[in-house]
Amino acid sequence: MVQEPVIGIDLGTTNSEVAFVFNDTPIVIEDDDRGIMPSCVGIDRNGRLIVGRTARNQAAAFPGDTVLAVKRRMGTDTRYTLGDQEYTPQEISAMILKTLKARAEDAIGGPVQKAVITVPAYFTDVQRQATRDAGRIAGLEVLRIINEPTAAALAYGEAGRDEDRHILIYDLGGGTFDVSIVKIEAGVVEVLASTGDNRLGGEDFDEALVAYLLDHIREHHGRDLTDDPVAAARLKSAAEAAKMQLSDAFFVRIEEDHVAPDLHLSCEVSRDIFEEMIRPLIEKTMMSVAKALRDAGLSPGRLDKVILVGGSTRIPMVSRMLSGELNIEPVMGIDPDLCVALGAGIQAGREMGKSIQSMLIDITPYTFGTSAFGMLEGRHYAHCFVPLIRRNTKLPATRTEAFQTMVDNQAAADINVYQGDHPDALDNIRIGTYTFDLSKAPAGSVITLRYDLDLNGILTLEAREKDTGKTINAVLENVFSQSGTGISEAREKVGALFPGDNALSKEAPSTGEPLRPESGPDAVLPPAIAGILDQAREKLPLAPDEDKDDIINLMEDITEACIQNDPDRAGKLAEDLEDILFYIDE
Amino acid sequence: MSLGDIAAKPGVWFHRAIVLRLLTLIHTASGRALRNRLDMDWKTRALADFSDWLDGLDQAPPEFLPENPADQSESDSRSAPQDTGSPFGPDLYTLLSEFVSLKKQIQIQTREQSRNLRGLKNFNAFAGEGRQLLDDLARQVSRMGAMEDKLREETTADILQAFLDIRDSLARGTASRTRVTAPFLRQKKVHALLDGYQIALNKFDQALLRLETTPIPTTGRSFDPDTMTAVDTCHVPDMPQGVVTQEISGGFMRRGKVLRHARVVVNTPGKEN
């Protein structure tokens, strides 16, 4: 019987995605768009219904013919006019769902009629019912409505664990922010608290950066481009690109020619400056995190995991602040833009009765950083640990940090590579040391240090003098096994002290078969004899009772002959055994 | 009892005990003789048949028979000295030896047959797995081919995207010609510079064309949401509504797909430029 396909849909405020389990692996279905489709519906100049990117393209020019963020209106009496028709939020959502359904049908190669849809944890029953109705209008039987944080936990395989877990899901998207705390008990996910701000997201960070650039132009060129829409549009694109680059790089140069007549922009932005711009916004999200913990009646210490969802969580400041507040390193192994959709896909796969493989997450198990002069426990200290690539970061990863020379004409800087999490670098494991001979420069000259870590545990580092461009490079291999080997060796050592310890025992469990000797002579048997013994083991249950004893005796004799290193006798006995086996029907 | 009765009794006894038995014996003997005669007929016929068959054979004896019966006897006595001594009797020892040898042969053949069967079975299983592997491999190769094509397309698109930004800069530089307000004597030099820009831009577009990449025409055309993104609106009274008034960055098509959407300003009613 062919299993009827079930799809998982993340019906988001800004973007939506659809996932399906192909070969036991959930995959977000793409259509030249990384699988991310704007949650946008419109009517074009020719009266044609357009959904997704096409509708989003015309939103600025024809806002009256375009519907954005319909999710915020689900369950209300709002009516949208497109062309000469009125539509409810459910009907608009149905158009998005129908487009995703068609996309899935193309990929699967057959009709799709069943779906799992995600909604925010704070959605009321009315809003959930409206979502269910939207599915029905789109021709989908909604088998289940699941909460977005639950989907995220599913994607990270949390629902399949036996022990009780408390997980915080921090979801910072393009235009909305949600924080939820879920409790997972025997595979059942319960949302303990959910709060957020549905007007806060990555677009606010872009605007902050645009404002900075406008200030820069005012200051350096004496021109105010605030009311120049073309300049504003170009600055917004540049700001968005710079924001993304600043997640990996410490400095970004934004260069735009002809921003306005006879005006070219060239402006360097450091991560520090950007983080100062957005700090009030991130701090606001931290207040929501604290509120969610209060609502759930939990202390940060009770949290077992912090999951990052939404593209804006790629900003390093987010994980750093969360780590500082909660004393737990957040995880972002799965693409934060697709995490909820993948969770919905996993649930859809379960509805189909499929065994879902856990998502393959390539993350670094250790933090890698360097040491620098700084403050530790209120006093100056020469070996403060500065993490660059933090534990649980998705691989491959690139991070850059900036440092300054301490004295004029400093001759050299030692670059130490550490693995660990202790604030005192000397308490971590040092896996490399390099000396960077510096050019003559005043104190405070900037040196950037970049780490590139790949899936194979190869750490490439580059130190660069910002002013001169002088660099040194180094490559460290097998950085994951540097401490892993130590652990396995220690385990062997400890195991040797506890010979009776079951956990460390290497003995195979008893199978009830008397025929396979414990010392494992099969390993020294000629392949032909080993094959006959295997055949005998297979045929033994089928043998008549009068032959069974003969077979068992022969097998034991053969084994014994092998142990006694008597291949001739073993061979002859094997021939006798083979004669008996010939007459046993399979 | 009368004298006649006494005389009659021995007569009855004689009749029963002697005469009847004698008659029975005669009858039985005559029956056997008859049967013997019949058996003899069968044997006689068989002998006649055999004789006919012998007559049909060559005169020379077959090679496997000794010329002299004495040789046969000598040979047999060598191989089986303890036997019956009869020169033509069965050689049981040889027979037994050959039976033992035959049994051994059969065992060896059986074992070989068993091994061959098992080998054949294993080979069949292996061949089945091999076929499966080959099918999987063919599927993988096909999938890899498709992935390679996709990857090549994506890589080309990524590289092109980076160069499209440079083309935008060249285009903007060239377009600035209209705003040049240099003194008359320097205008010629500035225009020569901008002509150079234009030539560079043309070369750039020719290179793009070789990579099947063509610009999307925008300014003065109706806004098309499939190929353009509206980033702002303006109101130009003498232009139709929904027409692109300005291109912020160019759009490009490659092999029937949008490589990059053009970002444009669209003419709409009510908003003065």
Per-position pLDDT tens, chain A of length 586: 457 999 999 999 999 999 999 988 999 999 888 899 999 999 999 999 999 999 999 999 999 999 999 999 999 999 999 988 999 999 999 999 999 999 999 999 999 999 999 999 989 999 999 999 999 999 999 999 999 999 999 999 887 777 889 999 999 988 899 999 999 888 788 899 999 998 899 999 999 999 999 999 999 999 999 988 889 889 999 999 999 999 999 999 999 998 988 899 999 999 999 999 999 999 999 999 999 999 999 999 999 999 999 999 999 999 999 999 999 999 988 999 999 999 999 999 999 988 776 565 677 888 999 999 988 888 889 899 999 998 888 888 999 999 999 999 999 999 999 998 899 999 998 988 999 999 999 999 999 999 999 888 889 999 999 889 999 998 888 888 655 444 444 445 444 544 444 433 333 333 333 334 334 444 457 778 888 888 888 888 888 887 888 888 898 888 888 888 888 888 888 888 888 887 776 5
What is the model's pLDDT at position A358? 59
Residue reference for tokens 């999490």: A421
Asked if A171 is an active-site residue, the reply is yes
Interchain CB contact of A375 with B (< 8 Å): no
Interchain CB contact of A578 with B (< 8 Å): yes
Asked if A98 is an active-site residue, the reply is no
B156-173 tens-digit pLDDT: 888 898 899 899 988 888
| B interface with A, Cβ–Cβ below 8 Å | 107, 110-111, 113-115, 118, 169, 172-173, 175-176, 179, 222-223, 225-226, 228-234, 242, 246, 248-249, 257, 261, 263, 265-266, 268
Alpha helices in A224-356 (DSSP H): 229-245, 271-296, 316-326, 339-351
Are residues A61 and B114, on separate chains, in Cβ contact within 8 Å? no
- CB burial readout A312-324, b (16+ within 10 A) else e: bbbbbbbbbbbbe
Q: Which residue of B has its CA nearest to A528?
A: B115
Quote the distance between the C-alpha of residue A59 and its chain's center: 31
- CB burial readout B116-128, b (16+ within 10 A) else e: eebeeeeeeeeee
What is the model's pLDDT at position B26? 63
A384-397 tens-digit pLDDT: 999 999 888 888 89
Angle at A514 between CA A509 and CA A515, to 5 degrees: 110
Pairing between β-strand A165-172 and β-strand A141-147 as defined by DSSP bridges: unpaired
Residues A6-156, CATH architecture = 2-Layer Sandwich (3.30)
Are residues A60 and B230, on separate chains, in Cβ contact within 8 Å? yes
Q: Which residue of B has its CA nearest to A45?
A: B242
Please choose, from the candidates A111, A15, A138, the residue with its C-alpha nearest in 3D space to the C-alpha of residue A69: A15
What is the model's pLDDT at position A545? 81
CATH number of A368-483: 2.60.34.10
ipTM of model: 0.71
What residue ranges in A297-410 does DSSP mark as E strands? 305-309, 368-376, 379-389, 397-404
From A71, A98, A101, A243, the catalytic residue: A71
Query: Is the fold of A6-156 the same as that of A160-333?
Result: yes
Pairing between β-strand A305-309 and β-strand A165-172 as defined by DSSP bridges: parallel
Joined together, the tokens standing for residue A323 give 């780590």
What is the model's pLDDT at position B83? 47
Domain ranges within chain B, ordered by starting residue: 214-273
Joined together, the tokens standing for residue B146 give 């498709």
Give mean pLDDT, residues B24-29.
65
Are residues B230 and A62, on separate chains, in Cβ contact within 8 Å? yes
Question: Among A27-36, B111-120, B238-247, B264-273, whose mean pLDDT is lowest?
Answer: B264-273
C-alpha dist (Å) from residue A24 to A110, A355, B128: 18, 6, 25
Which among A23, A53, A57, A225 is the top mutation candidate for probing chain B, defined by the most B β-carbons within 10 Å of its own β-carbon?
Answer: A57
What is the model's pLDDT at position B89? 59
| Domain A160-333: which CATH number of 3.30.420.40, 3.40.50.1820, 3.40.50.300, 1.10.540.10 | 3.30.420.40
Asked if A148 is an active-site residue, the reply is yes
| Kind and range of the H or E run holding B97 | helix B92-175
* Interatomic CA distance for residues B122 and A527, integer angstroms: 14
Residue B190 pLDDT > 90 = no
Are residues A258 and B172, on separate chains, in Cβ contact within 8 Å? yes
* Interatomic CA distance for residues A123 and B228, integer angstroms: 35
Are residues B248 and A233, on separate chains, in Cβ contact within 8 Å? yes
Are residues A229 and B225, on separate chains, in Cβ contact within 8 Å? no
B102-138 tens-digit pLDDT: 888 887 887 788 778 888 888 899 999 999 999 999 9
Q: Which residues of chain B have a CB within 8 Å of the CB of A229?
A: 231-232, 234, 265
Domain ranges within chain A, ordered by starting residue: 6-156, 160-333, 368-483, 521-582
Asked if residue A242 lies in contact with residue A252, where contact means CB atoms within 8 angstroms, the answer is yes
pTM of the model: 0.69
* Interatomic CA distance for residues A293 and A303, integer angstroms: 9
Band of pLDDT at residue B69, cut at 50, 70 and 90 = low
Asked if A477 is an active-site residue, the reply is no
Please choose, from the candidates A550, A578, A561, A557, the residue with its C-alpha nearest in 3D space to the C-alpha of residue A525: A561
Are residues B222 and A578, on separate chains, in Cβ contact within 8 Å? no
What is the model's pLDDT at position A304? 93
For CA atoms A218, A220, A223, A225, give the dihedral sign. negative
Mean pLDDT of chain B: 79
Q: Is B267 helix (H, G, I), strand (E, B) or coil?
A: strand
| Domain B214-273: which CATH number of 1.10.1370.30, 1.20.1250.20, 2.30.22.10, 1.10.287.610 | 2.30.22.10
Interchain CB contact of A58 with B (< 8 Å): yes
Exposure on the CB side of residue B30, measured as CA atoms within 13 A: 6
What is the model's pLDDT at position B36? 66
Alpha-carbon gap: A475 to the closest alpha carbon of chain B (Å): 27
Please choose, from the candidates A179, A470, A441, the residue with its C-alpha nearest in 3D space to the C-alpha of residue A330: A179
Q: How far apart are the first and last CA of chain B?
A: 175
Angle at B150 between CA A38 and CA A338, to 5 degrees: 35
Quote the distance between the C-alpha of residue A369 and its chain's center: 21
What is the model's pLDDT at position B90? 61
* Interatomic CA distance for residues A58 and A52, integer angstroms: 11
Q: Is A419 helix (H, G, I), strand (E, B) or coil?
A: strand
A396 preceded by cis ω (within 30°)?
yes
What values do phi and psi take at A523, rounded to 5? Answer: -65, -25
**Phi and psi based region of residue A307 (left: phi greater than 0; alpha: psi -120 to 50; beta: remaining):** beta
Q: How far apart are the first and last CA of chain A?
A: 31
The residues, ordered by sequence, that sit 6+ positions from A326 with a Cβ below 8 Å of its Cβ are: A168, A289, A300, A303, A306
